Amino acid sequence: MNDGMESSTPASAISSADEVRKLRDELDKAGKKLVFTNGCFDLLHAGHVRYLAQARALGDALVVALNSDASVRELKGPSRPVNTEEDRAEILKGLRSVDAICVFTEPRVTKLIEQIKPHIYAKGGDYTVASLNPEERAALDFVGAEIEILSLVPGRSTTKTLQRIAAGEAETTDAPRKLRIGVLGSGAGSNFEAIRGAINDGSLHAEIACVISDHNDSGIITAARKAGLPAFFVDPGINPKRFPDSAQKEVCEHLQRANVDVVVLAGFMRIVRDPVLTEFKDRIINVHPSLLPKFKGSDAVQRAIDEGELETGTTIHLVTAAVDDGRILAQASVPIEIGDTAELVHERIKKEEHRLLPQVLREWTEK
Ligand code: GAR
């Protein structure tokens, strides 16, 4: 234990700065990144959970520097914290997004930053880079940490919760909870953009909780990063026909950490297997460019043309272990005209997909 730490908490919940520094060095060697954030995290609420998931998504592991009880008292007054640092640490440790917790007793987190040397420092959106404490800012610059300001969930805070309890008021939600969507894609990402478009114009009450791609330079992952969404590349390995077990597991962990309600395979050219299938049973949607059950599998558009079909289309369906075989949720057809190329027909199909996919998700929110 270093001198900034309290020692009465079970060792399983609180790590020493040295232990976290070791984790940081291991990640560094593997070309991975440690994210660091700090706060009181008293009376955990959904805003905290989402903030921590967002912070974790910036790198490969997350350490939370937790204000000690004395420093919470100093910051928030004598009636705080509600929960002791031992309990706050234990509760945080239960979150999938949190990999390690340190407790700091000083008013500033400077010393821990210097000891741990995180790659990324995350802070909630009530700060700007300019308004960070100058001492902490100098320590971050010194250790070369990137600074990321994350948006906070409006209306959620421990102080607000306590005020409500004191006033004897129940929590009310003006709007139903947003559907949390995880999108997997390998290509251009036009269907992902269609979902975003519907969210942005208010016609779909949802949020994109994470985007996953098997290509680190795909259109979809580039667009997601640009939009500031949690975006993850999952390395598929060298065999183009196989998406190995380790990758399946990684996909599942990202989806679980982002707490998604529904998974959309929007041009994801890999077969999704367990543990994702079991974990998200009946909650995975695939967009396939044919009128299923016709033309399952790859090259569906070209095969429809080659077979002399006069029309083809798109199918949105639930995903099961059998490829392109789950319950159909929606379909739309497009004509195939003489002289059409696969590209032309596919463009026609995508137009229908961009209309149909937000519609299916909208129906999902109404369920
Ligand atoms: C979509 O047209 C979708 O139907 C197809 O990939 C395209 C992705 O486009 N899916 C499959 O072929 C799955 N077997 P996008 O990246 O522009 O959304």
Distance from residue 288's CA to the centre of ligand 1 (Å):
6
In the prediction, which pLDDT does 22 show? 98
CATH number for position 242: 3.40.50.170
Same domain? 183 vs 152: no
User: Which protein residue's CA is at the shortest distance from atom 9 of ligand 1?
Assistant: 267
Does residue 16 lie within any of the structural domains?
yes
Does residue 161 lie within any of the structural domains?
no
**Mean pLDDT in the chain?**
91
3-state secondary structure of 60: coil
In the prediction, which pLDDT does 126 show? 62
Listed residue (116, 165, 113) closest to 139, CA to CA? 113
User: Which protein residue's CA is at the shortest distance from atom 3 of ligand 1?
Assistant: 267
CATH number for position 77: 3.40.50.620
- 186 pLDDT band, cuts 50/70/90, is very high
User: Would the pLDDT of 228 be above 90?
Assistant: no
In the prediction, which pLDDT does 3 show? 43
Which residues have any ligand 1 atom within 6 Å of their CB?
185, 187-191, 220, 266-267, 287-289, 314, 349-350, 353
Distance CA 367, CA 325 (A): 22
In the prediction, which pLDDT does 106 show? 87
pLDDT digits (tens, 9 = 90+) for 86-145: 999 999 999 999 999 999 998 889 999 999 999 999 998 666 677 788 999 999 999 999
Same domain? 54 vs 83: yes
User: Which protein residue's CA is at the shortest distance from atom 7 of ligand 1?
Assistant: 267
Distance from residue 187's CA to the centre of ligand 1 (Å):
7
> Nearest 5 degrees, angle CA 205-CA 230-CA 361?
25
Same domain? 129 vs 230: no
Identify the domain boundary among 121, 156, 191.
156
In the numeric block, the tokens 């000891």 are attached to 115
- Evaluate if pTM is beyond 0.85: no
Residue ranges making up the domain that contains 322: 176-366
Strand partners of residue 120: 35, 146
User: Which protein residue's CA is at the shortest distance from atom 17 of ligand 1?
Assistant: 190
Does residue 49 lie within any of the structural domains?
yes
Does residue 166 lie within any of the structural domains?
no
Distance CA 149, CA 242 (A): 37
User: Which protein residue's CA is at the shortest distance from atom 6 of ligand 1?
Assistant: 267
Identify the domain boundary among 156, 190, 211.
156
In the prediction, which pLDDT does 6 show? 46
Distance CA 181, CA 15 (A): 33
Question: In a 10 Å sphere around its CB, with 0-12 CB exposed, 13-18 middle and 19+ buried, how is residue 46 labelled?
Answer: exposed
Distance from residue 202's CA to the centre of ligand 1 (Å):
24
Distance from residue 325's CA to the centre of ligand 1 (Å):
16
**Distance from first CA to last CA of the chain, Å, rounded?**
51
Same domain? 186 vs 149: no
Tell me the mean pLDDT in the region 198-202. Answer: 94
- The total number of structural domains in the chain stands at 2
Tell me the mean pLDDT in the region 16-44. Answer: 96
Amino acid at 31: G
- 173 pLDDT band, cuts 50/70/90, is low
Same domain? 185 vs 306: yes
Q: How many CB atoms lie within 10 A of CB 358?
A: 21
In the prediction, which pLDDT does 1 show? 38
In the prediction, which pLDDT does 2 show? 41
Does residue 169 lie within any of the structural domains?
no
CB 316 within 8 A of CB 331: yes
Tell me the mean pLDDT in the region 269-298. Answer: 96
SS (H, E, C) 203-226: CCCEEEEEEEECCCCCHHHHHHHH
Same domain? 201 vs 321: yes
In the prediction, which pLDDT does 366 show? 83
User: Would the pLDDT of 7 be above 70?
Assistant: no
Distance from residue 258's CA to the centre of ligand 1 (Å):
23
Distance CA 210, CA 284 (A): 14
Distance from residue 275's CA to the centre of ligand 1 (Å):
23
Same domain? 189 vs 139: no
In the prediction, which pLDDT does 75 show? 83
Same domain? 189 vs 336: yes
Q: How many CB atoms lie within 10 A of CB 33?
A: 17
pLDDT digits (tens, 9 = 90+) for 229-246: 899 999 999 988 889 999
Strand partners of residue 150: 124
- The minimum-distance atom of ligand 1 relative to the CA of 192 is 18
- 5 pLDDT band, cuts 50/70/90, is very low
Same domain? 206 vs 85: no
